[in-house]
Amino acid sequence: MSDPHPDLLFAVLPLDDGGAQSEFGLTMAAHPLVHQELPYRPQYTVYNRRLTAMSMAFSTVDEAYWMLRRQAILRHTAELPIEIRGPDAERLLNLAFTRDISRNRVGRCSYQIACDDRGGLLLDGVLVRLAEDRFWYGQADGDLSLWLMALGRGLDVDIRDPGVWISQVQGPDSLRILEAAVDGAYPDPFRYFDAAWVTIAGQEVVVTRSGYTNELGWEIYLGPEIDAGAVGDRILEAGREAGLRPVAIGGARRIEAGLLNAGSDFDATVTPFAAGLGAMVDFDKPDFVGKTALENADRRCRTWGLRVPGGVARLGDRLSRHGVPAGRVCSSAWSPFLACGVAIVRLDEPDLGPGTALDVACLDGSDRPGKTCALPMYDRSRDIPRGRVVDIPDLPADVA
Output the known binding site for substrate.
Answer: 219
Q: Give the whole-angstrom CA distance, residue 4 versus residue 18.
A: 23
Query: Binding site, residues?
Result: 219
Q: Give the whole-angstrom CA distance, residue 192 versus residue 182.
A: 18
Amino acid code (one letter) for 337: F
CB 179 within 8 A of CB 222: no
Instruction: Of 83, 98, 141, give the one whose Cα is nearest residue 263.
Output: 141
Amino acid code (one letter) for 86: G
CB 377 within 8 A of CB 256: yes
Secondary structure of residue 35 in the 3-state scheme: helix
Measured from the Cβ of residue 314, the count of other Cβ atoms closer than 10 Å reads 19
Q: CA–CA distance from 174 to each of 135, 181, 382, 383 (Å)?
A: 25, 11, 16, 15
What crossing angle do the helices spanning 174-181 and 228-238 adopt, rounded to 10°? 120
162 phi, psi to nearest 5 deg = -80, 0
Query: How many Å separate Cα 377 from the centre of its chain?
Result: 18
